[in-house]
Amino acid sequence: MTKPRREIMGEEQALLEVQAVYQELEKRPLERACTRLTECCQFKLTGKTPYLTLGEAILAARAMRAVGQHKLPEKKDGSCPLLHPQTGACLIYENRPFSCRTHFCQAAGGPYARREVVDLIRKLEDVDWAIGGCGAQSLPAALKVALERPKPLKAGVRATVSPRARGR
Ligand code: SF4
């Protein structure tokens, strides 16, 4: 049986790193303009669901709790569970996942080319690895895991060498 991997980054540090990735994306000179149409939040209609690394999911879960949402609402219409049922707005827009920022919405400019953001994707993957994640999961699954985490990790040691950096 495979032993669980030791977590080598604390949760607070992980969240800072994820936020830094989001901020870095904002600074890139890539022409995109999300006007919050929320078309890409209609998973059933688009046939596409965002995937989140564990750090992103923990950040999103915290943002949910901050607005009083402690459970993942069930959505029968196939839309994102984070769309407010009355206003139709994203409950966690400022902390929305990377996929929601680099989405495929044509009105916002279409999807980012992978080469434009691959370094940021790698950073998110490194954080995922360092906090014991197992790779990106679909938004509902990732949020369920994050919301069910028993307690925040204590401040940890910053990861210095990821599997990728070691060539694994
Ligand atoms: S997290 Fe927010 S922006 Fe992303 S799909 Fe859900 S409602 Fe839309």
Tell me the C-alpha distance between 62 and 165, whole Å.
29
Q: Is the pLDDT of residue 30 over 80?
A: no
The domains of the chain are located at 11-148
HSE (side-chain half, CA atoms, 13 Å) at 154 = 0
Ligand 1 test: best mutation among 25, 41, 44, most atoms within 8 Å of CB?
Answer: 41
Please state the rounded mean pLDDT for residues 67-90: 91
Query: Is any atom of ligand 1 closer than 6 Å to the C-beta of 100?
Result: yes
CB neighbours of residue 74 within 10 Å: 7
Query: Is any atom of ligand 1 closer than 6 Å to the C-beta of 83?
Result: yes
Render pLDDT for 16-26 as a digit per residue (tens, 0 to 9): 999 999 999 98
8 C-alpha to ligand 1 centroid (Å) = 29
Render pLDDT for 93-111 as a digit per residue (tens, 0 to 9): 999 999 999 877 777 777 7
User: CA dist 156 to 4, 8, 73, 124, Å?
Assistant: 17, 6, 32, 17
Tokens representing residue 161 in the block: 């060498």
Tell me the C-alpha distance between 53 and 22, whole Å.
13
User: What's the confidence (pLDDT) of residue 21?
Assistant: 97
When comparing pLDDT for 103 and 52, which is higher?
52
Query: Is any atom of ligand 1 closer than 6 Å to the C-beta of 96?
Result: yes
Tell me the C-alpha distance between 108 and 157, whole Å.
39
4 C-alpha to ligand 1 centroid (Å) = 31
Query: Is any atom of ligand 1 closer than 6 Å to the C-beta of 59?
Result: no
- Amino acid found at 161: V
Query: Is any atom of ligand 1 closer than 6 Å to the C-beta of 159?
Result: no
Tell me the C-alpha distance between 24 and 121, whole Å.
11
Q: Is the pLDDT of residue 118 over 90?
A: yes
Characterize 30-40 residue by residue with b for buried, 16 or more Cβ atoms within 10 angstroms of its Cβ, and e for exposed: eebebeeebeb
What residue owns the CA closest to ligand 1's atom 2? 90
What residue owns the CA closest to ligand 1's atom 1? 96
